[in-house]
Amino acid sequence: MSSNKINRRDAIKGLAAIPVLGAFLLGADAKSDHDNGIKQEILDELNIEPATPNPTGSMNGDVLRVGIIGYGGRGEHLIRSIGFASPKWLADMKENAAKDPKDTRLRDYLEQENLNVQLTAVCDAFDVRGELGVAAGTKDGFKPKQYRDYRKMLEDPNLDAVVIATPDHLHAPMVIAAVQAGKHVYVEKCMTHKVRETVEMYDAVKKSGLVFQLGHQHRQTASFLTARELVKKKVLGHINLVQTNTNRNDDNGAWQWEIHEKGNPQTIDWDLFLGNAPKIPFNAEHYFRWRKWWAYGTGLSGDLLTHDYDRINCVLEMGIPASCSASGGIYTHRDGRDVPDVFQVLMEYPDFTMGATQEAGKEKGMTFVYSATLGNQYDRGTLLMGHDATLELGEQLVIHADPQSTRYKDMIEKGSVSLEVPMYAYDPRAKGVDAVTGATAKYFANKGLMYTYRDGKRVDSTFLHLREWLSAIRNGHKVSCGLEEGFQEAISAHMASASFLTGKRVEWDAANRKLKNVSDSELAGVGML
C-alpha cells in the first residue's frame, strides 16, 4: 500500500458502495412503486377531491353596522370572531401565549382579516354583560350604544344587521322583529323553541328577503365539505345507519354555568328575559342556567343534537325525518332541572338514498341515531355506515372498507385494500407526521392529499361562518346554513323534544307543516306548540 499508484484492490475497496447504492436504488424504487401503486389504485377508485370552501366575496365598501343581542358566553365569542375581542380575553390570551407557545389563539385573532364592521349596538337584559359588550365594541374612539330591550335597539336606523345569541325561547320573536325592522340576521342554534313559531319565523324571513344565517359554524369545516363529495361518489355505498353522540361529564357541559354575583332584579330585566315563557318570580338560577329548563331552552335536542343533525344534514341533505322517537331521563344531574341529561333519539328516513352499489331496488332508507349522556365523556365518534364502507366523520375523515363490500370486493381479494387499516384518511390540518424512526406511512395515508384550512392558516370556523353571512349581505350570494337548513334543523329537534315529552312517536306532515301523530293540545300541554 505504500505505492502512490491506486491499485485495483484499493479501487474496489473505495468503490465498494456502488453495488450497495445500486441495490438501494432498485429497492427504493420498487418500494415506492408498490406503495404509490396501492395508494394510487385506491385514490383512482375513490376519486376524492378535497372540497374547496364556498366562494365568498370581498369585504370592501361601506362599513357594516352590526348589533349583538345577548352578550353572554356565546355572544362574546361571536363578536370576537368579527373583530371585537373583550379587553379581558386579550389580556388572558397574552398571558396564555407567554406560558405556552403552542397556544396561538391570540396570534390567530390578530392575524384575522378585518371584516370592515362596526359594532353599533349591544343589547343584554343583564346590565353587567351589556357593559362588557360595550367595552369589547369600543374601538377607534367609537362606542356602541347599550340597550336592555331589543325592540328599542331594532328601531335604530343606523343598524344593518343583528347577531342573536340569547336563550332559545327568545330567538323566534327576536328574528321576526329584526327582519320586520329590515335587519339581516345571524341567530344561534337552536333556531327556534317551538313548532308553530318555527313556521311563522320561516315565513317572516322568507318574505323579508334579508340575509339569514343559522349559527352552525361546522358548515365551514373543510372535512365536512369533502365528506359530502365522497358520499355523492358512493364511496360508502348505500348509507343505512348514521350514529352520532354527545358525551360530556363536567358541570359546564351540563349547563351548570356561573351565577353572576351581580345578577339581581335591579341589574336584570326579568320580564324581558321571560318573554313568552311562563311568568314566575325572579330566579337567578333560571336566568344564568336557562338551558336546564324547557321553558327557555330546548334541552339536549336544541343544544347538541342540532350540532350532529346539521353536520349530517350538511353531508347527506336528508332533511326532516318522516318520524322520530326519543327517550331518556334525568340520571346524572338531579338538581331540579326538567330537561333530560341522558337522551336517545331515533329518526327514520324510509325514502333516503344517495345511490347504491348493489342491484337496483335492494337498498333504500336510513336511520339516524343520536345518543347522549352528560355523565360520561368517552368519545364514541360519528359514524356513517354504508354497504361498502364506514366513514368516521370529524375534523379528519377516516374510511374503513367493509369486508362484505360489493364495490371493493376485487381490491380486498387482491390485497390492495386492507381491512386492518383505514383505506383512506383525510386531514385538512396536517401535511403528515414522519420521523427517522417512523413507520407510519400507512397510518397517515393521507399525506399526499394535503388541504390546509384556508391558505395554509388555521382559521376559526365561527369567523368563517360569520364572514360568509357578512359577505352575503354585501355581495348577495348564498349562505351555507340559511333558512331552509335552519327550518329542517329546528323541526327535527322539536320532533325529538315532542316525542320525549309526550312519549309518542312523532311524525312530520310536510304538506301542512305540522307534527302528526300528536295533537295540538298535547303539544301545547308540553309547551311545544
Partner 1 sequence: MNGTNSISIYTPAQTWLLVILRMLIGWHLLYEGVVKLWNPGWSAGGYLMDSQGPFANLFYKMAANPSVLGVVDLLNVWGLILVGLGLLFGLFTRLACVGGILLLGLYFLSHPALIGVQYAMPTEGSYLFVNKNLIEMAALCVLLVFPTGMMAGLDGLISQWRSK
For partner 1, give the closer residue by CB, 278 or 456.
Answer: 456
For partner 1, give the closer residue by CB, 419 or 433.
Answer: 433
- The reply on whether position 14 binds partner 1 by CB under 8 A is yes
- The reply on whether position 435 binds partner 1 by CB under 8 A is yes
Residue 235 identity: V
For partner 1, give the closer residue by CB, 73 or 438.
Answer: 438
In the complex, the smallest distance separating the C-beta of residue 29 from partner 1, rounded to whole angstroms, is 10
Set of cell numbers at residue 515: 307534527
Set of cell numbers at residue 512: 301542512
- The reply on whether position 519 binds partner 1 by CB under 8 A is no
Dihedral sign from CA coordinates of 88, 465, 164, 141: positive
- The reply on whether position 455 binds partner 1 by CB under 8 A is no
Q: Which of 356, 351, 379, 382 is nearest to 367 (CA)?
A: 351
Spatial separation of the C-alpha atoms in residues 220 and 252, rounded to whole Å: 26
For partner 1, give the closer residue by CB, 52 or 519.
Answer: 52
Q: Which of 43, 272, 284, 450 touches partner 1 by CB under 8 A? A: 450
Spatial separation of the C-alpha atoms in residues 463 and 17, rounded to whole Å: 57
Residue 435 identity: A
Residue 107 identity: R
- The reply on whether position 21 binds partner 1 by CB under 8 A is yes
Q: Which of 355, 404, 443, 503 touches partner 1 by CB under 8 A? A: 443
Torsion angle in degrees (nearest 10) through CA of 479, 482, 484, 486: 150
Spatial separation of the C-alpha atoms in residues 200 and 202, rounded to whole Å: 5
The answer to whether 224 and 315 are in contact (CB under 8 A) is yes
Set of cell numbers at residue 117: 364592521
Cβ contacts of 113 within 8 Å, gap of 6 or more = 59, 467
In the complex, the smallest distance separating the C-beta of residue 437 from partner 1, rounded to whole angstroms, is 5
One character per residue 24-53, x = contact with partner 1 (rule: CB under 8 A): x---x---x---------------------
- How many CB atoms sit inside 10 A of residue 415's CB? 8
- The reply on whether position 11 binds partner 1 by CB under 8 A is yes
In the complex, the smallest distance separating the C-beta of residue 394 from partner 1, rounded to whole angstroms, is 15
For partner 1, give the closer residue by CB, 12 or 280.
Answer: 12
Q: Which of 114, 379, 439, 521 touches partner 1 by CB under 8 A? A: 439
In the complex, the smallest distance separating the C-beta of residue 377 from partner 1, rounded to whole angstroms, is 19
- The reply on whether position 9 binds partner 1 by CB under 8 A is no
In the complex, the smallest distance separating the C-beta of residue 459 from partner 1, rounded to whole angstroms, is 15
For partner 1, give the closer residue by CB, 11 or 241.
Answer: 11
Cβ contacts of 321 within 8 Å, gap of 6 or more = 347, 348, 349, 368, 492, 495, 508
The answer to whether 266 and 419 are in contact (CB under 8 A) is no
Question: How many residues bind to partner 1 according to rule CB under 8 A?
Answer: 38
In the complex, the smallest distance separating the C-beta of residue 41 from partner 1, rounded to whole angstroms, is 17
Q: Which of 361, 403, 415, 456 touches partner 1 by CB under 8 A? A: 456
Q: Which of 60, 101, 141, 281 touches partner 1 by CB under 8 A? A: 101
Set of cell numbers at residue 223: 372535512
Q: Which of 278, 436, 476, 512 touches partner 1 by CB under 8 A? A: 436
Q: Which of 106, 355, 381, 44 is nearest to 242 (CA)?
A: 381
Set of cell numbers at residue 366: 336510513
Spatial separation of the C-alpha atoms in residues 347 and 340, rounded to whole Å: 18
For partner 1, give the closer residue by CB, 34 or 152.
Answer: 34
The residues in 320-349 that bind partner 1, with binding defined as CB under 8 A, are: none
Spatial separation of the C-alpha atoms in residues 321 and 465, rounded to whole Å: 26
Spatial separation of the C-alpha atoms in residues 297 and 276, rounded to whole Å: 12
- The reply on whether position 430 binds partner 1 by CB under 8 A is yes
Q: In what order do the strands lie in the sheet with 389-393?
A: 424-426, 397-401, 389-393, 382-386, 239-247, 366-373, 342-349, 323-329, 506-509, 514-516
For partner 1, give the closer residue by CB, 458 or 516.
Answer: 458
Q: Which of 249, 283, 404, 440 touches partner 1 by CB under 8 A? A: 440
The answer to whether 208 and 179 are in contact (CB under 8 A) is yes
Spatial separation of the C-alpha atoms in residues 330 and 272, rounded to whole Å: 29
The answer to whether 371 and 245 are in contact (CB under 8 A) is yes
Q: Which stretch binds partner 1 (CB under 8 A): 2-10, 75-83, 165-173, 215-223?
A: 2-10
In the complex, the smallest distance separating the C-beta of residue 432 from partner 1, rounded to whole angstroms, is 6
Q: Which of 145, 148, 409, 431 touches partner 1 by CB under 8 A? A: 431
In the complex, the smallest distance separating the C-beta of residue 426 from partner 1, rounded to whole angstroms, is 12
For partner 1, give the closer residue by CB, 28 or 110.
Answer: 28
Spatial separation of the C-alpha atoms in residues 269 and 454, rounded to whole Å: 42
- The reply on whether position 447 binds partner 1 by CB under 8 A is yes
| Residues in touch with partner 1 (CB under 8 A) | 1-2, 4-6, 10-11, 13-17, 20-21, 24, 28, 32, 101-102, 104, 430-441, 443, 447-450, 456
